[in-house]
Amino acid sequence: MPEPRARSSEESHLLEKAARYLPGGVLGTHRFPPELAFVVKRGQGSKLYDVSGREYIDYLLGSGPMILGHAYPAVGAAVSEQLSKGTTYFLLNEPIIQLAEELCRAIPCSEQVRFTSTGSEATFFALRIARAYRKRDKVLKFEGGYHGHHDYSLMSATPRSPKAFPAAIPDSAGIPHVLEGEVLIAPYNDLATTEALLAVYADQLAAVIVEPFQRVIPPEKGFLQGLRALTQRHQIPLIFDEVVTGFRFAYGGAQEYYGVVPDLAAYGKIVGGGFPLAAVCGRAEIMRNLDPSLEGTPEFVAQVGTLSGNPVAAVAGLATLAELRKPGTYARLFRIGAAVKDGLAALVKRSGIPGQVAGEAPLFDLFFTDQPITDYRSTLTADTALLKAFNYECLKRGVVKGAQKLYVSLAHTEADVERTLEAFAGALAALRRP
């Protein structure tokens, strides 16, 4: 096993401060073992550099938004220009109107847009809008689907001991128990069970929300089309959570890539170009519930945010989308991603360790199991301890990836791919050692 690279006294001091002032010494739930923890100093292209000056190939990408890579010149230039005009107004501004127009042009379901600051807010308000429109309270989501960290979302996203469908399990302390009866759970990629649940509960449902590409699990042929047909039959709004897939698989997101158009969609990550920005997009008939002229009526949905519509985030988003519209961009992204994804799959097969790579070229991960990965319960057959060890071995070799995802950017080069596959090979070899 390679020796951990030297950490500077400055970085050690910062890590000590983090442990003192941040719960668990981290910003969320993602953390590395103490000997591998580091503090980011800067990002450039496909790389991260820590305070000790060490370089990492980055497949975390800020948890997804940095599809162009870090410090992309066109984004930086747009942001610098806007900074001289002010950072936020809480009022209509030219960049946010232009971004709303572009989202409506790009996203099949989008006739109107309401901006938020985070993807969690976007899914939260999409559900609230659907409840107001449909005049029902219950929602149906899919087991293992992640829609942010609000109370409705954190139901059966990561259940350790799943219940019989449609019973929900809270994934966090502090969630009101009453919500266990308001969120119904269905199995992803299982249209027959979903149809049976809708036959019973359709009249009680405000919406069905789904990640069209659930974490790193692609939809099976006909699943999304069937779900769209079922929700239309029962007149239930269908919400796509495209916080991750939006502008990643195609310019029109998963809606374009899979050819299915929902009623509402939540967007985040890429739309802000690395700044806090997200959006609810959808049919004008449903989005009208947000119109302040309805205030005081039972139809009105209250939604506002101090930074929702921030012009700095808007210009960063516009600059990012302008790059993604360039001819050949997605073909290149898929080509880079396929080189990493297929290379990893080949290395796993050669290693003799039971495992498989699931996902699409721009976003995928490794599961240490010989069982097909089609839904959340099938992921439970995977050896999570082995994946954690693999991730740590990659980090030792200068490759950063998320606990459960590997994002690819347009900044990754052939040289990065070569170094990455060498790191993967070394990590798998280390796992085979007694």
Q: Is 416 a catalytic residue?
A: no
**Catalytic residue (one of 58, 190, 241, 365):** 241
Specify the pLDDT at position 64. 96
Reported for 300-303, long-range contacts at CB under 8 A and 24+ positions apart, including other chains, are: 300/132, 301/125, 301/128, 301/129, 301/132, 303/114, 303/116, 303/125, 303/128
pLDDT digits (tens, 9 = 90+) for 263-283: 999 999 999 999 999 999 999
Confidence of residue 11 (pLDDT cuts 50, 70, 90): very high
Asked if residue 434 has pLDDT above 90, the reply is no
Cα dist from 213 to 82, 105, 301, 350, 358, whole Å:
35, 22, 28, 28, 11
Ordered strands of the 40-44 beta sheet: 40-44, 47-50, 55-58, 399-400
Arithmetic mean of pLDDT over the chain: 95
The fraction of the chain above a pLDDT of 70, given in percent, is: 98
Beta strands in 75-181 (DSSP E): 112-116, 138-142
Cα dist from 120 to 124, 264, 388, whole Å:
6, 15, 26
Burial 19-29 (b: 16+ CB within 10 A, else e): eeeeeeeeeee
Specify the pLDDT at position 2. 42
Q: What is the mean pLDDT of residues 211-238?
A: 98
Same fold, 9-70+352-432 and 73-324: no
Specify the pLDDT at position 5. 63
**Catalytic residue (one of 59, 72, 133, 146):** 146
CATH architecture of 9-70+352-432: Alpha-Beta Complex (3.90)
Q: Is 330 a catalytic residue?
A: no
pLDDT digits (tens, 9 = 90+) for 51-91: 999 999 999 999 999 999 999 999 999 999 999 999 999 99
**Catalytic residue (one of 47, 269, 341, 405):** 269
Q: Is 257 a catalytic residue?
A: no
CATH of domain 73-324: 3.40.640.10
Confidence of residue 1 (pLDDT cuts 50, 70, 90): very low
Whole-prediction pTM: 0.95
The fraction of the chain above a pLDDT of 90, given in percent, is: 93
Every domain of the chain and the residues it spans: 9-70+352-432, 73-324
Asked if residue 293 has pLDDT above 70, the reply is yes
